Each structure stands twice: as C-alpha cells, then as structure tokens.
Structure 1
Amino acid sequence: MYLSRLYIENYRSIQKTDLKFERGKNVIVGRNNSGKSNILKAIDLVLGEYSPTYSKSDNISENDFYGQLNKPIFIWCEIQRENNNGVLESINYTEVLKSTFFRMYHDKEQSDQLRVKITDFAKGEKLALFKFTTEAGQAEIDGGGYFKKWIGGKTYCKGWGFEQEFVDKENFALAFLAYKTKEDVLKKELVFLYRENRNSDWIIGFNCNLRNCIIQSAIIPAFRDPKDQLRISSYSWFGKLLKAYVKTDSVELNAAFDSVKDASDGLFRQLKDKISEKEIEIAFPNTSISFQFNPNSKQDIHKSTLIYVNDGFDSELKDKGAGIQSAVTISLYDFYVRNIVHTGSSLLAVEEPELYLHPHGRRVISNRLSRFVDGGKNQVILTTHTSEFLSNIYESQNIICVQKINTSTTAKNIYFNTPKRKQILIKKQNAELFFADSVILTEGADKYFIEEAARCFARSNKFLTEDYEIVSISEDWINDFNISIINCGGKHELWKYAEILNELEIKFITTADFDFLRDGLNEYFTNLKFEKKHSDKLNKLKSKINSKSKYKSIEQIEGEDLIKEVSDFLIECRDQNLFIFTGELENFYIIKPTYDKEGGVIETLGKLIEEQRPISDYVDLSEYYSLFFNFLSLTQNLKEFVEAEPAKMVAYAQTEKQL
C-alpha cells in the first residue's frame, strides 16, 4: 500500500492543492515558510497514530482554517493497493478481528449498494461523503431509509469478514472534514472508503478502525522528541514492537520481578514504617502504601523501557543529539515494519531530516531512508532544504516543489525517473534551483563572473520609483531576491534545466556564449518546443554566415547588414528569456589571464581578491549589466523589492546622473 494522492482544501496556508505521490521516495522541497510542513501535518492528521476524530485530541483549532471559518477543512488521502500480475497485496487484519463496520444499501435485498462518485471534489460531493456521520444522517439510517450490512468479526456479521469484503478491492481512502457549527462548536469527521479499481465508484465504509491495517505510518516532525516519536502505548508502533518481544510468562522475568520486589521492600521498609504512623496518616484509614522500582503488573513492564545509546558515553537516547535520535527512530521503525507488523508496505514521513547534521551525517540518514524504501516496497515522504536528499541518482524520485504565491501554498510534481533527468542531480550544488524564486542559467564558469558582476551592478546603479524617488539595492541582491545562478555544465545541458524550470513555473533566463547560435540553439528550440518560426529564422540567419567560419563573436561576422540582422535576432532571443552574449568570456577581458576557460576565471577571481580590486577592472561588465536589467524586468523581483519599501518601480537607469 502507498499514499497515492493527497488533496487538501482550506488547511493552514493551503487554500487548495492536489498532490500525487509514488511508491518509493517522495521529496518535498521549497523555501522557508512556503508550506512544506503543512503538507506533512495534513498527512499526520489523517494517517498518523492519533485519530483525527478522537474527542480528546486537540489537533484542530480555528487557526488551522485557511481564510474564513465558514469553509470547512477537507483532507483526502487516497491509498493504492499493489497489484502484481493480478495478485493483490495481502492485508493483515489481526488487530481488528473483533471490530466491525457497516456499508449501506438502498433496498432490503442489498443489491443496490450506496456508492459515491468522486471526481473533482465539488462542494456537493465533499459534503455528501459525510452525510451519514451527522445526527440527521444517523436518524435517516435508523429511520429505515437505508439498510446496513455489517462486516467484520462480530457474530452479527453473519460470517462476512474483512477478507471477503476486500478480496478484490484495490483503492482505499480516508476523507477528513473539520467545520464550525452554527453553535460555534468545532466538529471533526472521518470517513473510510474503498472501491474495486480506479474506474469504480467509491463505497462508504464509515468505521475507520481499519486505517492501520490498510497502511502503517510513522510521522517524524522537525522538532523531534524521542518521547513523542517513540511513544509506548497499546496503539503506537513502538509500543507494539516492544510488546512483541516482552514475554510476560518468562521464568527469568518473573524471578527478576520477585528479586527486585524483595530488594525494594528492604530498602524502603524504614520509610514505609515511618509514614504509616498514625500521626502522619498519609493515606485513607485502613489503607497502606509501599514503594517499588518497577510496575506491579507484568503486563505493562514493556512500558517502562528506556533506550540507551553508547557512543563513547552511555546515556539515554533523549540526551543524545538530533542526528542519533533520527537514525535510531528510523531504524527501529524499519525493523518494526519488516519483522512485526507484517503488512505489505508502510509509510515513513520525515520533516527536515537534515536538521543539526553535518553533510556526512545527512548522507547516513539519506541511506537509511533508501534502505527503508526497500526497492519501492515502502514509501518515504520527506521535506528538505538540502541536496543530500535530492541527489540520489540510483533511485526514481518524485520531487514536489512547494511555493507560496501571495498567502497560499501551491505545489507541483516533477519526476526524475529517466537517465537524462538524473544527470541533473549529479551536480548536488544545483539542487538549489528548487528553492529559488528565479534562476539564471549559465554554460559554466561564467557563473562566478555573474555573481561578482552582480555586486558591481548594485554599487553602480540606481532605480527610479513612480514618485521619482531614487532607490538602490544591496550588493547581495541576488540572495535578497532568492535568485539562483546555476552552472549547467555546457551549452547542450541548458535545455534540460530550462525544461524543469518551465515545469515548475519558476521564472528564469538562459545565458550562453555567442557560438550557441552555431551549436546548441537549434537543439534548445526543439527540445523546449519553441514555435517553429524561431528555428526557421535561426537557420536562415546561419545560412548567411560563412559556414566554414567557427565564429565565436559578433565581430567575426562580415557585413554591416548581417551584423544588424544578427543583433536584432539576439534582441528577439532576449524576449524569449534567452540572453546570448556577443562573444565568449575571453572577448570581455580587460586584463587577460594566463589560462583559458574555467582556469582563467579562477585566476581572475584570485587576482581581484589578492589585489583588492573590483571585477570591473578585469572584465568589461556592460553586457552583464544588460543581462541584469533584462532579468529584473523579466522576473519583477526588483519591482517586488521596491514595492516593499513601499514604492513602485517604473524605470531603470544605469547611472544616477541619468536619473
């Protein structure tokens, strides 16, 4: 089983989102405060160890509603059962054999069962799911309007158990609703549904006791505490793990209990005698008090279990660092699902597993999660800000990019399940594009010049608001505006990154050297499905340029008319978010380095650090400045920055004198 779909409406920062999850690893990425945690909280609310409808569970408050309280919170978790060549994944009903649920029919012959067709969760469809959970709905059932069929382990189920009911069912779902009544009371409802396959309508099962039989889950939040994640109770996975290994009829255990009781009676005899004197009267009349080191009931001995870890110093797990706590929790849950629960598959959701870990520790945890996935048998859903959990090229990963637009969280799926896509993940530092508001793509080492040029750009440029106020931006505006500059590793790699950014709807501009016209631009146009007119114009232009010339700059082109035509084409490319320089790196050096390509870039950066001079002394930055103006106009990052002042940017100028 695995969580295949999560639909959320009106919950926390999420107005509405519809996510697809895959078996194996699902990685949720996005900048801080974008709403990643709220996705995991929604999963925990419905599939976690606590029941969302449990009356004593304080898991929903007025602050959890997005917008107005008159719109209910709705969460739909759809679970897919594995089907291997017609053989459905087995379900272990051991824990619920004595429980029951019912499904309803329209007639006494039970031939017309009550089903609901869920398509796009229109308002009427959502509320129809919960019709019979209300008092009015129960009255309608009891009034004879519908007929029940009981299913489960009780005698009145007439031999029709869970196995017979679910033998051919492939899809399960849990639907959660929270709303405020007219009496200002917060109500919570949970409904269990199932169906034969994706083409069938849903059957309402009502009772949700089967949740842990359908899918076993563990949710580990960002602020971890072993006493919460490793709760010892009759329903928690850790409590079940311990209970499976504590044999209360053990001769050794009973002997140990007797020895500890005798020892404690001796140690505390004087204290017991003192407090039992009449003048103290610590208890009610005719009662006595004693002291023991262990629970009196052998049935509960597992509840006193403590975990100790020896990493050179032997102490309780709760006193160890977050990294060790995470590793132990994940490994124990892995052991539990492999050896105790015996379900077909399980879900592990972890929020920011990288917290408090150095890079090597992050990779250890990433490998533990991959081991838990077990080749796709189990499912992991995690949120992260680091590349260690994104850059595993040996796994097919479903990456979910989360953004906050205005005040609402949006999320999009993107898959890395082909060799070409996985190549992008090899460069771990480039994973930051998933967290960016906008991106500048580069062929290679010019990334470092662009970063330095951006500082000079901020120092030498001012901007004019509609109120004719002159404003400036900080030298660190690239980070202020959440911009990533990505080294794609060659001109033939640019389109792959651009394709991903298009899918994620992240604004970007692609930069390339002049020879991109000759080699690479046609491929870029084709793979990104540009209109044919762009390729036609490029090919016509190339045919006019001497094909034998390995032109690397616009200066090598002969004829003023042709130069004008090429220049006009470069301007048109900029309108398509494609900034092609009029030359290569070496064409812009003021002080030429000893080495070519990346070696020259590193040499130049070393000199400006050593000599304490700006990069503008070594490189002509005029085209870089044109790139920044083009980029800022495209992304409106500057507009957003100036509006925050508050003001509204209406014009750019390269010098204060021009203003």
Structure 2
Amino acid sequence: MHLSKVALRNYRNFSNAKFVFSKGINTIIGENGSGKTNLFRAIRLLLDDSMKRSALRLEERDFCRGLGDWRGHWVIISLEFDEVSMDEAIQALFLHGTGDIDDDEQIERSTYNLIFRPNQEVRGRLAQLDDGDSDGLASLRSLITIDDYEVVITGRSFADFNDNQVYTSIVGDFENVIFPTEFNPAEIGARIPPILSISKEISFTFAQALRDVVSEFHNNRTNPLLALLRHKSSEINQAEFQPIVDQVGSLNSSIENLSDVSEVRNDIKQTVNDTVGDAFSPTALSIKSDLSDEADKLFQSLKLFVAETDDGYEGAIHEMSLGGANLIYLTLKLLEFKYQTRNQPIANFLLIEEPEAHIHTHIQKSLFEKISYPNTQVIYSTHSSHISEASKIRNVNVIGKVDGRYEAFQPSTGLTPKQIIGVERYLDAVRSNLLFAKSVLLVEGDAEEILIPIFVNKALGLSLDELGVSLVNIRSTGFENIALLFHDDRISKKCSIITDLDSPFFDTNIIATDTEAEKNYKQSAIRSSHSGATRKVKFDAFCNNNAWIKPCYATHTFEVDLLLSKNNQMFVSAINDVYSDAATINTAKQELLSDDISISGKRSLTMANSSGKGWFAITLGQYVTHNINIPDYIWDAIVFSHQNFNDDILEKILSYRIKCIEEDLIIWREMVDTTTEQAPNWYADWNNYIQPRADALPNLKQQFESFQLGLSEIPDILQVLETSFPDNPIISLLRRI
C-alpha cells in the first residue's frame, strides 16, 4: 500500500492543491515558504501516531490566508492510497473506515480524510439563508468563532475535493450565498470510529528539517538515540539486566550511607524539631538515592560520542560539525524506521524534510540514492539541486506560485516515457535549478549565461535572482527537452527561450573573386541562416497555444545583435584584452566603430571566437556599465518571464537609475571642466548634451516622488525619460510593462 494522492483545501498556504505520489522515492521541490513543511504536517496529522491527538483540532492560523474571511469555510486534508493489501484484516480496516467501493468487494484504493468544518448548528443557519443574502451571510459569519468548528475523520469518500464545483456543492457558494441543505453528503465519506486508526497499523517516521541538532538530543521527547534505546528496553534480556539492577540497589545504599549524607539528614531532623517541637515533627525522615533500576530510565543517561577526525577523539554531539551532527541525526531516524518495520505493518512511510541541511553535496546525492527500503514509500522535501538532479522527474512534485496562490505541479503529467527520459538526461545539478525557480530564462550558450545577468544587474540595479528569474544554459538548441515541462498540465511557470536566428549580416552571394575561405564563410552563414529559419518555425509551432512559453530571437547572433544595440564602445574597451599587436588593435577599433554592420559585426564575432565565446564574454563583462543597451529580444524574454514588475521593484529600479544619472552628470562635468581650448567643438557638443539632462533631472525626481506617493504612473515617468533622457536603458523595459 502506498500514498497516491494528497488533496488540500484551505490548509495554511494552500487554497487548493493536489500532490501525486508514486511507489518508492518521491521528491517535493519548492522555494522557501512555499509550503513543503505544511504538506508534511498535513500528512502527519492523519498518519503520524506520535503527534498529539489534540493537533487534529485546527486553529484559525491553519486556514489559508487567501480566503480572506475564513469563517464558514472548511479545511480538508484528503489522503488516497493505492494497492491496498488483500489481507483480510487490512480489508476489514478499510471497509469499515476508508473503502471506496461496495462493502462486498475487495478494494485496492482507499481514502482517509480530515475535515475541519463548522458544526451542524452553524451549517444549518447557513442553509437557512436566502440565496444572494450577502448582508445576512456577513452578519452570520461575524458570530462564528473557532469554537464553532468540529473535526471529522472520514473514509470511503468519492468527492474530488480539488474540483471547485464539488467543493462549492458540499461547502457552499459564498459569493452567491447558496448553501446546501444536506449536512453530511455521501461523497465526503463515512465517519471513521475513533477505535479505528490507520496510524496504528502502519510504520511512519518523520525526520524534520533540523535547526538545532544539539537541542534535539537534549530533549527526551525528541532525542532519536533515546527513542531507539526505549524501543530496545522492552526487548532487554532480564537475565543480563539483573546484575545491573543489583548494582544500582547497592549504589543507592552506598550513597545513602555516606557520612556527609547522614549528617545532613540528622541536621534537617534536628532543625525541624527545634522549630516546631516534637508534636509537629515528622515521625521519620530519610535522604535516599533515587537512581532508577528501570532500563528505560537508565537509558536516558546514555549519550552518543562520535569521532569525526583521524586523531580518534570522540566528542559529544555539541562538539560535532553541523553537517556531521545532522548526518548522525538522520542515521538514527533511519534506524528508528528500521526498528518499526520489523513489526510488519501494512505500509511503511518515511518522510524526510530537507536532508541536505549542512551536508556536503556528495553526501547529499549518496543519501538520496541509498535511502531505499523494500515496501517503503519515501518522500523528501528539498532545496538541493544535487538531490533534484538524482530524482526521477516522474516522482517529483513542484510547488509554485500562480496568481498569488501556491499550487502543486507534476512535471511528468502527459509526457511519454521517451520524453521523460529526455528531461531526466537534461536535468543535471545546474539545469535542475529551473525546478526551484519562480520563472525561467533558457539560453543556448555560455556568452548569454555569463553576460545577461551582468546586463540586468547593471541596467536595473537588481539581479535576475532578485527578480525571481532563473537563467539556465541548455548549451544547445534542444530547448524542447526542457521547455515542454512548462505547460498547463505540468509546471505553471513562465519560461522564455532566447536563441539566435543566425540571419546573415553581410552579403552571402558568392562571387568569382571570393577566396576559398570567403566562399566557406558565406556558405557556412547560409547554412546557419537556413537552420535558424527552420528552428524558428519549429519553436513557434512548439510554443503555439502555450501561455507559459515564449521564444525570443536574436536576428543574427548574440554578439552581433549586442553590437547593433549601440554597444560598440564596450567591444572597443575589450580590444586590448584580445589583441596585443598595435596594428591589429587599431584596425579592430576602426572596424568596431564602423556604421557598416558587415564590418563591425564580423569583427565582433572574430574577437568572440578568438579565445572562445565563454572567455570573451568574461572579458567583455568587465566593461559593462550602467548605460548598457540591452537588445530588445532580451528585454522581451525578461519581461515575459518575470511578468509582474510591481511598484516596489519599479521604485528600486527608478531610484537606482536616478542615482546613475546623477553620477554621470558629475563625471561629464568634470570632463568638460578639464577640456582645453584646443577642443572647442568637443566642449560645445558635450555641454549641449549635458545641460538639458541636468535641467530635466529635477522634473524626473519630482515624477518619481509622485509615483512613490501613488500620484503618478509609469507612463508619466516614461514621458520624461523619452523626452529628456532618450538613451536611458530602462526606457525599453518601461515601454513593455
């Protein structure tokens, strides 16, 4: 038997989420605060026998904040199991509590639900409201408190709690004020008697994400070593243990008979007698040693000592490294799980929260690959790309945010086995970062991977990470192998594809005077152009009718289109890092500054290819300034992926750009002030360039302050920029948002 589905309605950060699980090892991936811990707690409420029964009684904070007013709504946690054993005792358990089909049939699927809902009196009052009576509903809801709620555990349900229409039909339509008169509809399942509990029939171990291992070991309730010893204390050989009992008794007597102890006892007795007299003094008074002779209590005094270094020194847990202590903790929890499975329960579940905490990357992968037990379902949650790399995409759930709501995505839904294999081959430790991202930018080469993050940071004062965009280098044009993950049926996250069309930027017609090298160069360009055109047709068809993917094309190549966006000076600055010969340097500079793209473009590619595009990108990155002109197709990709440039982000960008303008004005004025009479035309040109910007800056600042106060909009700021700062890099961005 294994857990096949978890449905959550209105529980903590999940308004409506469905998780799908397989036999064996499963992985939960999600950013910080996405709800991985909440999912595990929801499962534990129904399956973890170590949780207090009172935990089932939820609180106001357990309702999803997205509801606004939680009063009247239900929290539903529904677990579905597959491959339920045909064992007669197990069938009896599920038929009485959680069976999904007729009682005279054996079942292979079962459900187990926790429902937290208003009591019947409140549901009755909701049902009595007239349809559409919003005022009456508001008045009634204002009187509801958490004490008006009840906990119901059900099985044998057949409702799809993730279906909004089903939920509305069961709970009620709050928007239109229509509530059902059937208080216990059959589809939510039959109540399970308190005497029956799946948690008592299974093996369930939960290893939490550790924040303080030392505290865990010092707490008798959470100490994993003590849990193991307690388990063994019930199996202890009494013949072996009796000598210890005898020694404890002898030790207690020896302590009691110490002369100092006897003296203190006599002094206490005498002082009491002197204080209240014989009539009111105790008839007897002793000081006794209370060292227990019970195995369970004796085991509490045992501590674990571990040697991490080659010198053989064994230190206590608090002396270990964080990674070492975490590894020991996980090891003990796994051993606890092994002890439980010896009792041969009907199912074995092992939940491990963020096993990678403080653990070296090589150990992370080893942990994931080796923690596999027969007839056991393992569910991890993780932030580690090394663990996600080793995960099977068909056994992965990704938690992401869509329109302000956290949802669960199953990346392999609807994919063929061949497609799944293709995805898993591509998702190495670097590329698997896209599973954790809020949105994704796919690029095809090292140059884009290196320079685009620098461009964004210099232009906006924010990194791609701050925008929540993860850039992933596919290192080829096989984007479909990864991009197919982004789909309504799989991962609902925006993904932009940046690739080159490789259209020629020079005359490719072969003429009689062409050298053999020139002919080969032109023929290569023609082939690349045909490949680019074919790729565009394929990508456009691939992305058609998919709102989550957008292809963005460089007309020529990354370097050439970068040059065409008026970044010639940046390439010129890198000449000395590429060439050492003075003549070549001079020629390269003239060519890069040429208005003829067939000349400047060819030189930019020659420089890029001279030492490899990756190395040239690193070189070029040193000369990127805040006045970088990012090509339009890259802005298109960034805006599509990020989508929501909210006011907070725009304020940061605008504040940064105003600071950049102020810094430029200072530098330009210093340059003008140091200009000699030998360059009067240069002086006049620059002064005419600087003064209008200096005059317009107060107006820009005023518009920005108005925007901060909510008194103006982005179009107002854009108008000032276009009029007075027409070369500002963020104009292209603001026009798009």
Instruction: Tell me whether the two structures share a fold, i.e. TM-score over 0.5.
Output: yes
Match of 1:12 in 2: 12
Matching of residue 178 in structure 1 with residue 190 in structure 2: no
- In structure 2, list runs of 5 or more residues that go unmatched: 120-143, 161-185, 274-280, 505-521, 564-570, 576-603, 653-707, 732-737
Cα distance between partner residues in 2 of 1:276 and 1:45: 51
Cα distance between partner residues in 1 of 2:149 and 2:283: 46
- In structure 1, list runs of 5 or more residues that go unmatched: 94-99, 105-112, 119-164, 459-472, 518-546
Cα distance between partner residues in 2 of 1:509 and 1:392: 25
- The question of whether the paired residues in 2 share the 8 Å contact of 1:478 and 1:484 is answered with yes
Code of the residue aligned with 1:624 in structure 2: it is P
Query: 1:484 offset after TM fit, Å?
Result: 1.2
Matching of residue 219 in structure 1 with residue 206 in structure 2: yes
Cα deviation, 1:198-251, whole Å, max 9, x if unaligned, reads 9x99665423654235432122222355675998789x9974774346544432
Code of the residue aligned with 1:636 in structure 2: it is Q
Query: 1:287 offset after TM fit, Å?
Result: 6.2
Structure 1 pair 422–280 and aligned structure 2 pair: CA distance change class (3 A): farther
Query: 1:638 offset after TM fit, Å?
Result: 2.7
Match of 2:345 in 1: 343
Match of 2:44 in 1: 44
Match of 2:464 in 1: 478
Cα distance between partner residues in 1 of 2:155 and 2:7: 15
Match of 1:603 in 2: 615
Cα distance between partner residues in 1 of 2:381 and 2:631: 36
Query: 1:482 offset after TM fit, Å?
Result: 0.7
Match of 1:404 in 2: 401
Query: 1:190 offset after TM fit, Å?
Result: 5.1
- The question of whether the paired residues in 1 share the 8 Å contact of 2:226 and 2:300 is answered with no
Match of 1:529 in 2: none
Cα distance between partner residues in 2 of 1:69 and 1:511: 47
- The question of whether the paired residues in 2 share the 8 Å contact of 1:444 and 1:487 is answered with yes
Cα distance between partner residues in 2 of 1:552 and 1:578: 21
**2:373 aligns to what SS in structure 1?**
helix
Match of 1:78 in 2: 80
Structure 1 pair 331–598 and aligned structure 2 pair: CA distance change class (3 A): farther
Cα distance between partner residues in 2 of 1:102 and 1:386: 37
**2:27 aligns to what SS in structure 1?**
strand
Code of the residue aligned with 2:455 in structure 1: it is A
- The question of whether the paired residues in 1 share the 8 Å contact of 2:13 and 2:406 is answered with yes
Structure 1 pair 314–115 and aligned structure 2 pair: CA distance change class (3 A): closer
Matching of residue 637 in structure 1 with residue 663 in structure 2: no
- The question of whether the paired residues in 2 share the 8 Å contact of 1:6 and 1:76 is answered with yes
Cα distance between partner residues in 2 of 1:412 and 1:279: 76
Matching of residue 579 in structure 1 with residue 552 in structure 2: yes
Structure 1 pair 355–116 and aligned structure 2 pair: CA distance change class (3 A): closer
Cα distance between partner residues in 1 of 2:95 and 2:250: 56
Cα deviation, 1:52-110, whole Å, max 9, x if unaligned, reads 6x24x587332222241332322112222366xxxx479899xxxxxx98987xxxxxx
Alpha-carbon RMSD across the aligned residues, in angstroms, is: 4.8
Match of 2:122 in 1: none
Cα deviation, 1:590-623, whole Å, max 9, x if unaligned, reads 45477766952333244346xx522799xxx766
Query: 1:341 offset after TM fit, Å?
Result: 3.2
Out of 467, 491, 498, the residue aligned to residue 504 of structure 1 is 491
Cα distance between partner residues in 1 of 2:264 and 2:104: 61
Cα distance between partner residues in 1 of 2:456 and 2:626: 11
- The question of whether the paired residues in 2 share the 8 Å contact of 1:9 and 1:73 is answered with yes
Match of 2:141 in 1: none
**1:3 aligns to what SS in structure 2?**
strand
Code of the residue aligned with 1:255 in structure 2: it is P
Match of 2:631 in 1: 624
Structure 1 pair 102–481 and aligned structure 2 pair: CA distance change class (3 A): closer
Matching of residue 250 in structure 1 with residue 249 in structure 2: no
Matching of residue 263 in structure 1 with residue 246 in structure 2: no
Structure 1 pair 45–324 and aligned structure 2 pair: CA distance change class (3 A): farther
Code of the residue aligned with 1:374 in structure 2: it is Y
Match of 2:380 in 1: 382
Match of 2:358 in 1: 356
Query: 1:265 offset after TM fit, Å?
Result: 2.6
Structure 1 pair 392–285 and aligned structure 2 pair: CA distance change class (3 A): farther
Rg larger in structure:
2
TM-score w.r.t. length of structure 2: 0.60
* Aligned residues with identical type, % of pairs: 17
- The question of whether the paired residues in 2 share the 8 Å contact of 1:177 and 1:190 is answered with yes
Query: 1:635 offset after TM fit, Å?
Result: 4.0
**Structure in which a larger fraction of residues adopt helix:** 2
**1:414 aligns to what SS in structure 2?**
coil
Query: 1:430 offset after TM fit, Å?
Result: 1.5
Cα deviation, 1:2-21, whole Å, max 9, x if unaligned, reads 22111112221111212111
Mapping for residues 204-603 of structure 1, pairs under 5 Å: 205-207=192-194, 209-224=196-211, 239=227, 242-244=230-232, 247-270=235-258, 272-277=261-266, 278-279=269-270, 286=284, 288-293=286-291, 295-298=292-295, 301-302=298-299, 305-312=302-309, 313-317=313-317, 320-338=320-338, 340-343=342-345, 345-360=347-362, 364-374=363-373, 377-392=375-390, 395=392, 397-405=394-402, 407-415=404-412, 418-426=420-428, 428-445=429-446, 446-456=448-458, 458=459, 473-474=460-461, 476-491=462-477, 493-502=478-487, 503-515=490-502, 550-551=525-526, 577-585=550-558, 587-588=560-561, 590=571, 592=604, 599-603=611-615
Cα distance between partner residues in 2 of 1:166 and 1:275: 75
Match of 1:467 in 2: none
**2:26 aligns to what SS in structure 1?**
strand
Match of 1:21 in 2: 21
Mapping for residues 192-211 of structure 1, pairs under 5 Å: 193=155, 205-207=192-194, 209-211=196-198
Cα distance between partner residues in 2 of 1:511 and 1:284: 90
Query: 1:260 offset after TM fit, Å?
Result: 3.0
Mapping for residues 138-149 of structure 1, pairs under 5 Å: none
- The question of whether the paired residues in 1 share the 8 Å contact of 2:6 and 2:20 is answered with yes
Cα distance between partner residues in 1 of 2:443 and 2:238: 68
**1:26 aligns to what SS in structure 2?**
strand
- The question of whether the paired residues in 1 share the 8 Å contact of 2:110 and 2:156 is answered with yes
Cα distance between partner residues in 2 of 1:188 and 1:288: 52
**2:371 aligns to what SS in structure 1?**
helix
Cα distance between partner residues in 1 of 2:318 and 2:108: 41
Moved more, 12-21 or 247-256: 247-256
- The question of whether the paired residues in 2 share the 8 Å contact of 1:92 and 1:213 is answered with no
**2:390 aligns to what SS in structure 1?**
coil
Structure 1 pair 298–602 and aligned structure 2 pair: CA distance change class (3 A): closer
Query: 1:327 offset after TM fit, Å?
Result: 2.7
- The question of whether the paired residues in 2 share the 8 Å contact of 1:65 and 1:73 is answered with yes
Code of the residue aligned with 1:453 in structure 2: it is F
Structure 1 pair 635–337 and aligned structure 2 pair: CA distance change class (3 A): closer
Cα distance between partner residues in 1 of 2:491 and 2:430: 18
Structure 1 pair 29–21 and aligned structure 2 pair: CA distance change class (3 A): same
Cα distance between partner residues in 1 of 2:379 and 2:98: 34
Cα distance between partner residues in 2 of 1:17 and 1:171: 20
- The question of whether the paired residues in 2 share the 8 Å contact of 1:511 and 1:579 is answered with yes
**1:23 aligns to what SS in structure 2?**
coil
TM-score w.r.t. length of structure 1: 0.66
- The question of whether the paired residues in 1 share the 8 Å contact of 2:73 and 2:117 is answered with yes
- The question of whether the paired residues in 2 share the 8 Å contact of 1:102 and 1:206 is answered with no
Code of the residue aligned with 2:443 in structure 1: it is T
Code of the residue aligned with 2:331 in structure 1: it is S
**1:638 aligns to what SS in structure 2?**
coil
Cα distance between partner residues in 2 of 1:166 and 1:321: 58
**2:355 aligns to what SS in structure 1?**
coil
